[in-house]
Amino acid sequence: MSAILSADDLNDFISPGVACIKPIETLPVQKPEDDANAYEVTTEDKVAASIPPPPAQISLTDCLACSGCVTSAEAVLVSLQSHTEVLNTLDAHPSIHAPWLSHNGLNGTTNGDTYTSNGVGNGSNGIHTAPEGKLFVASVSPQTRASLAATFAVSESQAGNMISQLLSGPMGLKTGGAHGSSFTWVIDTNVVRDACLVSAADEVLSALSPSTSPPLLSSNGGAIDTPPKKPILTSACPGWICYAEKTHPYVLPHLSRLKSPQALAGTLLKSVLSRRYNIPASQIWHLAIMPCFDKKLEASRSELTSAAWAPSSPASPPIRDVDCVITARELLHLASTCAISFAALPRTPLPPSTRTAFPDGRLDAFLFPRARGRGAQDPVAGSSGGYLHHILRTAQAQHPGSTLRAERGRNADVVEYTLTQPGGGGGAVVLRMARYYGFRNIQNLVRRLKPAKASRMPGAARGVMRRPGGAGPEAKEYAYVEVMACPGGCTNGGGQVRAGEVEEVRGEAGVGGEESGKKVGPVEQKEWLGRVDEAYFSAGSDEGEDGDGDTDMGGADDGLDVVDGVSRAYVHGILQHWAELTGVSVRDLVYTSYREVESDVGKKKSDVERVATLASSMGGGW
């Protein structure tokens, strides 16, 4: 849905004067009184020319406070969250790792040591001082690995190894820069996604339980402490969330309160590392490598900061859980800027002896299992994490003998699923769910969710409540809808390598490509997306190349309720352990909230209101 975030290619750019309603205003600036003649007569044009206006800057935070741009928000020129910002941060701060973290054993424990960032420590009392710098951590999505795997004709696991080699290996980023900084940990968001899948199934089945009271229809319908309303809509896609908050606030009560894997990984890394090492969250810098630019907007949300899991003071504002987001294409720009050939990086994993253990043994086993993945992904689950598929499988496990039927909608991006229990008349319907990908289909979905208005005409029938899948009181209702902004799912994100860029990318890397000379059109792009999907769905099937093929379930046995390869009891135990480790409830760690973003278009403000707003935004007053 998005073009590459570059000043050279703003295909989706809309002039701020037309679409951007964020007011670019400044307080009146007085002319310096030095050498000024109080009796000089001049013109307004001369005064305006003598005082150049300050340059206008629009940040991602401004975009989130605005309801003008929706799908074009990523096209706004911003200075943060790019490969340049990654390099600038690495150059500005030395990475803090060994020998400061060498006190940890291979089991990932701190052996009772306490780490401080401002105290004086010594080895005799077990207190160690954290040096100046930042602790760099990164998380990588499977869709990004699939895009790079298709680009360089390697397996998904090999692409993941190449990313790790770039961020942490001896041939990667540490070979240059002012401090030779690199990333201490590079985690796979697939392991965090398992926690999201289990939590999503718990949320949906709990909300559908007859004992669950319906949520109150208030202005705060997206609050964290209110259960979502049926049909529950996926909240992992920030493009869809931005669209809902700004244009269709009536769907907020339906949104899942669950954080995305990117957000959950950021919360996990910063909350645990800051607690275990007793360092401020601002000293931990988290980079996420994702398939779409809208993830940059998600990282800028005020709800996804340390304010949710750590008390903040006026002197220390909340710190974002994810500091920077770059895409697959930007990762390649990062390598080329550093004169590193991504294609030449080793395709093997880093030696286990070089990896610093995570400062908790149980979480170390969870984040770094002996083998990535749990076998090849089921294509039926889709390319966006498999939320709907896992919820259906969980419900099917709770209804032995039930059958699942899929039916395509008006196009390939709309699929309806029905879980039925054997019985007369075709069986009793247990659950109905659906998948809606792409804004063309999302618009149809939200239109059916819009509450009907009763006609005011005398004798007219009352309005009919609209529901997805049809209208009328007899219409079928979905229990859950997996909503994604990009047609085809997350493997088709705007930050992925496109078919027309493959030749250029391979040329920069010094490797040939069979796409050379081919005309790139919709058909070729569809074929290319099929290759990316193939790499995504085959993830985990090639573990024999790099590992022993055994998946570490943290000591789980076959008696646990394993659904689609994920042990629910094991994940619940990890989440509870995380909550006990940080002293924060599971709800505050795993879930978030949403709010309506109101538009200022058409609303006139007096000069007094305008100046008061500007003064308060600048920290001033009357």
Q: Do 256 and 228 touch, CB atoms closer than 8 A?
A: yes
* Of residues 328, 323, 303, the one with CA closest to residue 594: 303
Band (123; pLDDT cuts 50, 70, 90) = very low
Using CA atoms, how far residue 350 sits from 161, 281, 303, 359, in Å, is 7, 27, 35, 19
Please report whether residue 201 resides in a domain.
no
At residue 432, the pLDDT reads 93
C-alpha 146 chain-centroid distance: 17
Task: Round the average pLDDT of the chain to a whole number and report it.
Answer: 76
| 14 or 312, greater pLDDT | 312
- Among 138-147, 163-172, 482-491, 515-524, the least confident range: 515-524
Residue-wise pLDDT for 161-186, tens only, equals 999 999 999 999 999 888 889 999 99
Average pLDDT for residues 132-141, to the nearest whole number?
94
Q: Encoding tokens for residue 428?
A: 């009793």
What is residue 225's predicted lDDT score, i.e. its pLDDT?
A: 82
Q: How many residues does the chain have?
A: 622
How crowded is residue 406: how many other Cβ atoms within 10 Å of its Cβ? 13
Q: Is 495 a member of any domain?
A: no
Question: pLDDT at residue 278 above 80?
Answer: yes
Pairing of strands 414-421, 428-437: antiparallel
Residue 135 pLDDT exceeds 80: yes
pLDDT at 456: 64
Structure tokens at 346: 């080793």
Q: Place 108 in a pLDDT band, splitting at 50, 70 and 90.
A: very low
Give the chain's radius of gyration (CA, Å). 26
- pLDDT of 555 reads 39
pLDDT at 293 over 50: yes
β-pair partners for 482: 435
**pLDDT higher for 58 or 150?**
150
Cβ proximity of 464 and 471 under 8 Å = yes
Indicate whether 613 belongs to any domain. no
- The region of weakest confidence among 224-228, 348-352, 404-408, 415-419 is 224-228
Using pLDDT thresholds of 50, 70 and 90, give the confidence band for residue 23.
very low
Q: How many domains does the chain have?
A: 1
Beta strands in 301-383 (DSSP E): 324-327
Segment 101-114 mean pLDDT: 43
What does the alpha-carbon distance between residue 187 and residue 160 come to, in Å, rounded to a whole number? 10
Q: For residue 13, tell me if it sits in a domain.
A: no
The residue ranking higher by pLDDT, 602 or 170, is: 170
User: What integer pLDDT is reported at residue 6 of this predicted model?
Assistant: 42
The answer, yes or no, to whether residue 279 has pLDDT greater than 60, is yes
Using CA atoms, how far apart are residues 143 and 99, in angstroms rounded to an integer? 34
Largest separation between any pair of C-alpha atoms in the chain: 96
Residue 544 lies in a domain: no
pLDDT exceeds 60 at position 492: yes
pLDDT in tens, 41-56: 556 555 555 555 555 4
Q: Mean pLDDT: which of 58-62, 273-277, 504-508 is highest?
A: 273-277
Q: What is the pLDDT of residue 588?
A: 93
* Residue 360 to residues 102, 550, 552, 571, 577, Cα–Cα distance (Å): 14, 22, 16, 16, 10
- The answer to whether residue 317 is domain-embedded is yes
Over residues 521-549, the pLDDT tens digits come to 888 889 999 999 999 998 776 554 444 44
Backbone angles phi, psi at 16, to 5 degrees: -55, -30
pLDDT for the residue numbered 381: 85
Instruction: Say which residue, 177 or 386, is predicted with more confidence.
Output: 386
Range of the domain at 312: 78-195+260-377+551-590
Count the neighbouring beta carbons within 10 Å of the beta carbon of residue 348: 15
- Interior CA angle at 81 toward 77 and 82, to 5°? 80
Q: What is the pLDDT of residues 541-588, one digit of tens each?
A: 655 444 444 444 443 344 348 888 899 999 999 999 999 999 999 999
Domain assignment present for residue 185? The answer is yes
Average pLDDT value for residue range 30-37: 53
More confident residue, 10 or 38: 38
Residue 131: predicted pLDDT: 73
> pLDDT over 70 for what percent of the chain?
65
Residue 342 domain-assigned (yes or no): yes
Q: What is the mean pLDDT of residues 12-16?
A: 35
